[in-house]
Each structure stands twice: as C-alpha cells, then as structure tokens.
Copies of this chain bind each other. A is one copy, B any other.
C-alpha cells in the first residue's frame, strides 16, 4: 500500500520514525483524524515496522451542543471497537474564553494542547495503560499547510509564516512531541483513502461554511492555484521543506548573535552597535531576535534605520509588551520588564529609566506602532530654572525610577501644585476647561504609583499642565529635573 510507505518515509525523513513508538492521536472525529488512526492501525497490520502503542485523545469543546457530545460518543465507540486506549475531556469553551478574554479559537487551541500534554506526561491519565506517549499525532495535512502559508502571505509574515505547518515540534516542556504524519498528503488523497477503505467519520458543519478565513482560502484561492498547477500542494511540500531549512539557517545566526554579541548584564542585555553592523543581514537577524522579545518587524525596521543615521545622538526608546530597548549610536540596552509591571501596563505606557545612564541622554523618544512621543527630561541646577518657561521642574531626589509615562485613566488622582489634597484628574481637567476631545491626549508621569506630572501630548507637542505638590522644588532640593 503506497500511502503507508509514503507516510513511513515522510516520518523518517522528518525524524519521527514511527517504529516502536507510543503515539497518542488527537482525534476530532473528522475525516482527517479518522484516516490518521486508520493508517496507523494499517501500519501495524501490514508493515514490519510496528508501532508500539496507539492511543486516542478527544477534546469535547461543547461548541456545537448535542453534535459535540455525539462526536465524543462516536470516537469513544470507535476506540472501544478497535480496542484502543481512549482519553477524553469536556470543556465549557465559551465560558473559559469569556473569562480569560481570549478568542474561542485561541482558547480551544490552548486547552487542546494542554490536555495532550497532560495525557502524555501524567500518571493519573495513563496509569491505566502504564506508559507514556512518545508522540502526540495531529491530523494536519498538506492542504492545511498550504492554506496556512497563503494566509500568512496575505497577512504579512516572516519565513516562519509562509513555510507552512511543521512536521514535528516540541510543546513547551513536554517530553512528547507533536507530529503531523499526514503533512505529506493532500486533502483529496485523504478523502480518497477514507472512501476506498470505507471509513466512517463525523462531518464538522463549521468546515463547510466560509465562515472562517481558512475555509475561504480552501474554497476560493487554492482551487485557482491548482488551475495553474494541479500539483500545487505536492509542490508546496518541497517549498515548505526548503523554507524550513532557511528558517533553521536563520535561527543558527540568531543563536550565534545571542551567544557572541549579547552581553548579559544584571537585568538587561547590552549590545555594541559596531557588532550589529558586522552582521551579515542585521535587519533580518535582529528582527528575528527581537521578535522573541515582542517587537514587531516594523519596529525593528525603525530601530535598524537609526544605524544609518549616524548623526543622531539622541537615545530612542522602543517598547514591546515585555521589553524596552534603548538605542543610540554606540550601544543598545534591552531591558526585561517585570511580569507584574507587565500585567498592569497597557500598550500606551512607557518606561523612563534615568538609572540607566545611557549616553547621559535627556531626550526620550517613545515609539509604539501608533505614535511617537518625545519628552525631554533634563537634570538642571537652580540657576537654570525659569518658571516663566513652559517647562516644569521636579525634585529629582524624590523620584523613583523607572518612571512610567501613560495616558490618564478614570480614577487617577494627584495633589496639584499649591493644593493640599488629592484631586481627581477628571475634575482637575474640568477646572482647567480642557475640552473633551483633547482629554484623550492627557498623559501622566508616575513615580512608583504616584502621579508627579500631568500634561497634554498632542502631535508630539508637550504642554505641561501641573506637577504634584509633593514633588515641587523646596529649599532642601539638591537636584532638579526639568520636564518639557
């Protein structure tokens, strides 16, 4: 049977030889997963390269009412009939998604892989059969892989996007690896196999609609690609392999970069700009490295663009969800934001860290993908203080770094200069007659959790409104910081 040989040879080629392995098959009840199980059973029936053990895992996501339960029943019966260990779990997916504020698709994915991981690892799940699984097999096929690639091509992506689905990958700390033995077969071949072997399966109604973008690609785009080349999918098998190799090559360079160029400091990493310039493809390698730190390709483009502008002496700050990167012409500093900071932080929040005496710069530029903000913080002495200017002055020694700059929120309070009690910023803005449309541009600067400065930042023009009375200059002030 040639399809079995194809699977075996594909498995070997991708370093997951099935022989003598324990395989847990993720089974939805759809035709793909039923074909996958049947092929594995066939291997044990007719090939010399026996699989040690086959198990079935099913997640009931309760998304289609009775149908979901019938799916589970169907697979349970199949497992019993074929004497295959069966593991199932039922989730209230919609509730969990709402609770965790995640999309149904995302949460289902997480629950699914989490369950597989547990089964393949924990005794409580598999003590009945008394051994662990080497592989968790999913039924992704070549047409899925091409769809993924085209989806990413349309959405914009690096190489990992267009190389399609990986034949094998590790899931977190799990010993068991996810494998996709059907990635060498097209959907048509799978359907053909199912029909020829009189398999039964459950139709998933959501597959038939064009509700999801995947299905749109499947029904609207791929058939047209096949008009150009009927073997588009098979052809993609090679393309995918070549792109995966490219990805490995790139990863090699990123690893080299991390090993040899990154200097680990206490809580930060330092990079000499001269070293970056020596990289073969700086933008590519750095973008791949910074992607893991949450930065987008667009951000890396901006970061690298700075390298070319050798006259710029200013230190720029780039923010991702998890990291801050300070850059200037000589050195870059990458700082990991602490988890707890992260959780309370939204995308418009910027860290200002003067404790990082980085080029002694006073000018901080903040960039996320939406806007650019420049705030100038300057140490100055008393002689320089000009209360008539637009600048505002704070007692440096009362501040705790890093400061945080963010948009004002309902409930924010501070003691306006000259007052004794805390005031709601909303009321404060009303008093100043700041019009509603401008209130969206009101920012606050925080030291620890206390607001030290309130201002408007609009079209990159900074207008200070008021400082916190607690941070004003006093007779005992030693060091002054000027904000504008």
List residues of chain A with CB under 8 Å of any chain B CB: 149-151, 153-159, 162, 213, 216-217, 220-221, 224-229, 231-232, 235-236, 238-239, 241-243, 245-246, 248-250, 252-253, 280-281, 283-284, 287, 297-298, 301
Contact = CB atoms under 8 A, between A and B. Distances in A.
Contact of A154 (B225, B242, B245): B225
30 contacts: A150-B225, A151-B228, A153-B232, A153-B239, A154-B226, A155-B228, A155-B229, A156-B229, A156-B231, A157-B239, A158-B242, A159-B242, A159-B246, A162-B239, A213-B228, A216-B224, A216-B227, A220-B224, A221-B221, A242-B284, A242-B297, A245-B281, A246-B246, A246-B249, A246-B281, A246-B284, A248-B280, A249-B250, A249-B253, A252-B280
B154 A229 contact: yes
Contact of A156 (B238, B248, B250, B284): B238
Contacts of A225: 150, 153-154, 221
Contacts of A221: 221, 224-225
Q: Across the A-B interface, give the 4 residue pairs with the lowest CB-CB distance, nearest first.
A: A156-B235, A245-B284, A154-B225, A245-B281
In the complex, the count of this chain's copies comes to 2
Interface of A: prevailing SS: helix
A446 B153 CA distance: 51
A311 to B, nearest CB: 16
Contacts of A242: 158-159, 284, 287, 297
Contact of A249 (B236, B239, B281): B281
Contacts of A229: 154-156
Which of A156, A157, A242 has most B Cβ within 10 Å? Answer: A242
Given A216-B227, A243-B159, A248 B281 contact: yes
A13 to B, nearest CB: 9
Given A155-B228, A248-B280, 14 more contacts: A150-B225, A151-B228, A153-B232, A154-B225, A154-B228, A154-B232, A155-B229, A155-B235, A156-B236, A158-B239, A221-B221, A238-B297, A238-B298, A246-B250
A225 B156 CA distance: 11
A219 to B, nearest CB: 10
